[in-house]
Amino acid sequence: MKSQRIDTIMTKEVICVSPEQKIIDVKHIYEKRKFHHHIPVVKEDRLVGMVSLIDFMYRIKGAGLDDNNAIYTDLTVKDIMTTKPFSLDVSATIDEVSEEFVKGRYRAVPIVDNGKVVGIVSTADVIKYFLNKP
Protein backbone atom coordinates (compact mmCIF):
# COMPACT_ATOMS: atom_id res chain seq x y z
CA MET A 1 0.00 0.00 0.00
CA LYS A 2 1.39 3.36 -1.03
CA SER A 3 1.73 5.96 1.69
CA GLN A 4 -0.42 9.08 1.52
CA ARG A 5 1.05 12.49 0.85
CA ILE A 6 1.93 14.55 3.89
CA ASP A 7 -0.43 17.36 2.87
CA THR A 8 -3.39 15.14 3.85
CA ILE A 9 -2.50 15.41 7.56
CA MET A 10 -0.44 18.59 7.89
CA THR A 11 -1.69 21.77 9.50
CA LYS A 12 -2.12 24.15 6.58
CA GLU A 13 -2.73 27.40 8.44
CA VAL A 14 0.75 27.94 9.80
CA ILE A 15 1.66 30.91 11.92
CA CYS A 16 5.19 32.01 11.07
CA VAL A 17 7.42 34.73 12.46
CA SER A 18 10.31 36.69 10.98
CA PRO A 19 13.84 36.72 12.44
CA GLU A 20 13.50 40.44 13.24
CA GLN A 21 10.36 40.14 15.36
CA LYS A 22 10.65 40.56 19.12
CA ILE A 23 10.10 37.42 21.16
CA ILE A 24 7.11 39.04 22.81
CA ASP A 25 5.32 38.03 19.59
CA VAL A 26 6.39 34.42 20.14
CA LYS A 27 5.12 34.61 23.73
CA HIS A 28 1.72 35.76 22.51
CA ILE A 29 1.57 32.93 19.98
CA TYR A 30 2.36 30.35 22.66
CA GLU A 31 -0.30 31.80 24.94
CA LYS A 32 -2.96 30.78 22.40
CA ARG A 33 -4.60 27.38 22.78
CA LYS A 34 -4.20 24.40 20.46
CA PHE A 35 -0.93 25.56 18.96
CA HIS A 36 1.99 23.51 17.66
CA HIS A 37 5.01 23.89 19.89
CA HIS A 38 7.14 24.81 16.89
CA ILE A 39 7.02 28.04 14.91
CA PRO A 40 8.64 28.33 11.48
CA VAL A 41 10.76 31.43 10.92
CA VAL A 42 10.55 32.94 7.44
CA LYS A 43 12.34 35.72 5.65
CA GLU A 44 11.16 36.86 2.23
CA ASP A 45 8.78 33.86 2.15
CA ARG A 46 11.66 31.40 2.70
CA LEU A 47 12.11 29.10 5.68
CA VAL A 48 15.22 30.24 7.60
CA GLY A 49 14.67 28.84 11.09
CA MET A 50 12.46 27.24 13.71
CA VAL A 51 11.57 28.23 17.24
CA SER A 52 10.46 25.49 19.60
CA LEU A 53 8.73 25.99 22.90
CA ILE A 54 11.88 24.62 24.54
CA ASP A 55 14.06 27.21 22.72
CA PHE A 56 11.71 29.92 23.93
CA MET A 57 11.47 28.73 27.54
CA TYR A 58 15.23 28.33 27.84
CA ARG A 59 15.86 31.93 26.75
CA ILE A 60 13.16 33.58 28.88
CA LYS A 61 14.15 31.85 32.11
CA GLY A 62 13.12 34.11 34.97
CA ALA A 63 11.19 36.58 32.81
CA GLY A 64 7.79 35.65 34.18
CA LEU A 65 4.54 36.54 32.47
CA ASP A 66 4.89 40.34 32.42
CA ASP A 67 4.97 41.52 28.79
CA ASN A 68 7.08 44.52 29.85
CA ASN A 69 10.06 42.41 30.91
CA ALA A 70 13.15 43.49 28.94
CA ILE A 71 13.78 39.92 27.78
CA TYR A 72 10.60 40.06 25.70
CA THR A 73 11.32 43.45 24.22
CA ASP A 74 15.10 43.18 23.73
CA LEU A 75 15.53 39.70 22.25
CA THR A 76 14.49 38.93 18.70
CA VAL A 77 13.46 35.68 17.09
CA LYS A 78 16.90 35.34 15.46
CA ASP A 79 18.41 35.29 18.99
CA ILE A 80 16.51 32.12 19.91
CA MET A 81 15.77 30.30 16.65
CA THR A 82 17.42 27.17 15.31
CA THR A 83 18.99 27.96 11.95
CA LYS A 84 19.06 25.65 8.92
CA PRO A 85 15.87 23.81 9.88
CA PHE A 86 14.97 20.42 8.48
CA SER A 87 11.93 20.48 6.21
CA LEU A 88 10.14 18.22 3.76
CA ASP A 89 8.63 18.98 0.39
CA VAL A 90 4.86 18.99 0.08
CA SER A 91 5.17 15.89 -2.11
CA ALA A 92 6.63 13.88 0.80
CA THR A 93 4.65 11.00 2.24
CA ILE A 94 3.43 10.24 5.73
CA ASP A 95 5.84 7.29 5.79
CA GLU A 96 8.77 9.62 5.03
CA VAL A 97 7.97 12.03 7.86
CA SER A 98 7.33 9.07 10.17
CA GLU A 99 10.81 7.74 9.42
CA GLU A 100 12.28 11.13 10.37
CA PHE A 101 10.31 11.23 13.62
CA VAL A 102 11.50 7.74 14.54
CA LYS A 103 15.11 8.97 14.36
CA GLY A 104 14.24 11.24 17.31
CA ARG A 105 15.71 14.49 16.02
CA TYR A 106 12.44 16.31 15.33
CA ARG A 107 8.97 16.60 16.82
CA ALA A 108 7.59 18.86 14.11
CA VAL A 109 8.61 19.37 10.50
CA PRO A 110 7.75 22.35 8.31
CA ILE A 111 6.39 21.39 4.91
CA VAL A 112 7.55 23.53 2.01
CA ASP A 113 6.67 24.06 -1.62
CA ASN A 114 9.57 25.66 -3.52
CA GLY A 115 11.01 26.86 -0.20
CA LYS A 116 7.78 28.50 0.99
CA VAL A 117 6.14 27.14 4.15
CA VAL A 118 2.77 25.61 3.27
CA GLY A 119 2.24 23.48 6.35
CA ILE A 120 3.66 21.82 9.43
CA VAL A 121 3.30 18.27 10.68
CA SER A 122 3.97 17.06 14.21
CA THR A 123 4.42 13.67 15.81
CA ALA A 124 0.88 14.06 17.17
CA ASP A 125 -0.48 14.48 13.62
CA VAL A 126 1.20 11.24 12.54
CA ILE A 127 0.01 9.34 15.61
CA LYS A 128 -3.58 10.51 15.00
CA TYR A 129 -3.30 9.38 11.38
CA PHE A 130 -2.16 5.86 12.31
CA LEU A 131 -4.72 5.54 15.10
CA ASN A 132 -7.54 6.42 12.69
CA LYS A 133 -6.21 4.41 9.75
CA PRO A 134 -8.62 1.63 8.68
CA 40/CA 94 separation, integer angstroms: 20
CA 110/CA 117 separation, integer angstroms: 7
Strands 38-43 and 88-89: unpaired
What is the predicted pLDDT for the residue at 34? 65
- How many other CB atoms are found less than 10 A from the CB of residue 70? 8
Residue pLDDT, tens place only, 93-105: 999 999 999 998 8
Q: Give the residue extent of every domain in the chain.
A: 6-132
What is the predicted pLDDT for the residue at 61? 80
What is the predicted pLDDT for the residue at 35? 66
Average pLDDT, integer, range 48-73: 86
- How many other CB atoms are found less than 10 A from the CB of residue 51? 26
Residue pLDDT, tens place only, 78-132: 999 999 999 999 999 999 999 999 998 889 999 999 989 999 999 999 999 989 8
Angle between helix axes 94-102 and 123-132 (nearest 10 degrees) is 120
6-132 to CATH, choices 3.40.50.720, 3.40.190.10, 3.10.580.10, 3.40.50.2000 = 3.10.580.10
Average pLDDT, integer, range 17-31: 92
